[in-house]
Amino acid sequence: MEQEILELRKKIEEKVKLIRKTEDLESFRLEYLVRKGAVQSFFDRMKEAPKERKAAIGKILNELRNYSENVYKELKERYEQGSQASPDIDLTLPGKRNFIGAAHPVNQIMQEMVDIFNSMGFSVAEGPDIEDGYHNFDALNFPPDHPARDMQDTFFIESKNNALLRTHSSPVQIRLMKAQKPPIRSIMPARVYRNEAISARSLAEFHQIEGLYINKGVTFAELKGTVIAFAKKMYGEQSKFRFRPSFFPFTEPSAEMDISCFLCGGRGCRICKHSGWLEVVGCGMVHPNVLKECDIDPEIYTGYAFGFGIERVALLKTGIDDIRLFYQNDVRVLEQF
């Protein structure tokens, strides 16, 4: 019996040398360490051993069991920790690089803007990309001969109702005002489309976030405070801004807010058209005609609206000098974000 145990020990030692993976280790456990395994079978046969040899045989058998269990435990820990490499793997080869996915930089900026406006009490509203002329132009006080209606600025779709790809996110404001009574405080992130020449500053397909606040006694001072508060959170307290008069059919009075150019520091470059400033938001008080069109009494309620071009904000935030780089799928650019 002693000789059989010693032979089993040699067999187990040879088996251990052949273990290469967790499946081999599990086979080893099932063959030698379970209740009906080869090692335990010798314990069951101890009654066959001569009385004067039981102590010696028991010692040899305990050593075998301890050896087998310790080997199994050690190998199991190595595999669980991933430290046991297969001999088929050439450890001198360079490792494979894992690319970790991330949100597109424009989506990252959009979410940051949404979070800031959410913290200021604005909810989020959405609308369709394909609009009709009423929501995109008529209800927003665009005159019939306004140049924005021309094919040069708008992508029209051949259909019975003269459908078009929305040129701004303002149609969502109209749908919101018709569906909800004041007070209204909401932003509208949206993809918009304009038939424009593509350049370092502009695209034919881009993103906007517009905001709308309708209530009693809303003033232009509140509008100015809102967009400045947003801009300071977005660009930092030390950023420089300026307001200048402008015109939009759906607001009166209207204004645009500029931020000092991030590339030239205000000295003038091709991105800021050598002015030292970049426009980041158009805004104004909602035109009374727009309120009337949405069945809101302009004698009782006033409101303001604003619109940010998200790609323009992303340019300022990231320091990229060409808006086209966002959509050329150059990994060298995108992986920075």
Helix axis angle for 220-235 and 310-318, nearest 10°, is 40
- What is residue 315's predicted lDDT score, i.e. its pLDDT? 79
- Beta-sheet strands, E only, within 45-201: 123-124, 130-131, 164-165, 184-193
> CA–CA distance from 255 to each of 106, 111, 208, 242, 273 (Å)?
25, 25, 17, 10, 19
- What is residue 89's predicted lDDT score, i.e. its pLDDT? 66
- What is residue 170's predicted lDDT score, i.e. its pLDDT? 94
- What is residue 84's predicted lDDT score, i.e. its pLDDT? 46
- What is residue 66's predicted lDDT score, i.e. its pLDDT? 87
CB of 259 closer than 8 Å to CB of 252: no
Kindly give the confidence (pLDDT) of every residue in the chain, 337 residues in length, as a single tens digit, with 9 standing for 90 and above: 777 877 878 888 888 888 878 888 888 888 877 877 887 787 777 777 777 877 887 788 788 788 888 888 888 887 777 654 555 666 677 878 777 778 888 899 999 999 999 999 999 999 999 999 899 999 999 888 877 777 668 888 887 777 999 999 999 999 999 999 999 999 999 999 988 888 877 788 999 999 999 999 999 999 999 999 998 888 878 778 899 999 999 999 999 998 887 667 677 777 677 888 888 899 999 999 999 999 999 999 999 999 998 888 887 778 787 888 888 888 888 888 7
CB of 283 closer than 8 Å to CB of 209: no
CB of 261 closer than 8 Å to CB of 315: no
Sign of the CA dihedral with 251 first, then 298, 145, and 253 last: negative
CB of 190 closer than 8 Å to CB of 172: yes
- Cα angle vertex 210, ends 215, 284, to 5°? 60
Q: Domain locations in the chain?
A: 2-81, 105-334
- Domain 105-334 classification at class level: alpha beta
- What is residue 6's predicted lDDT score, i.e. its pLDDT? 79
d(CA 74, CA 77) in angstroms, rounded, equals 5
- What is residue 294's predicted lDDT score, i.e. its pLDDT? 95
- Cα angle vertex 196, ends 164, 166, to 5°? 25
d(CA 251, CA 140) in angstroms, rounded, equals 9
pLDDT in tens, 199-225: 877 788 999 999 999 999 999 999 999
| % of residues, the chain, pLDDT over 70 | 95
Q: Which of 279, 312, 81, 291 is nearest to 182 (CA)?
A: 291
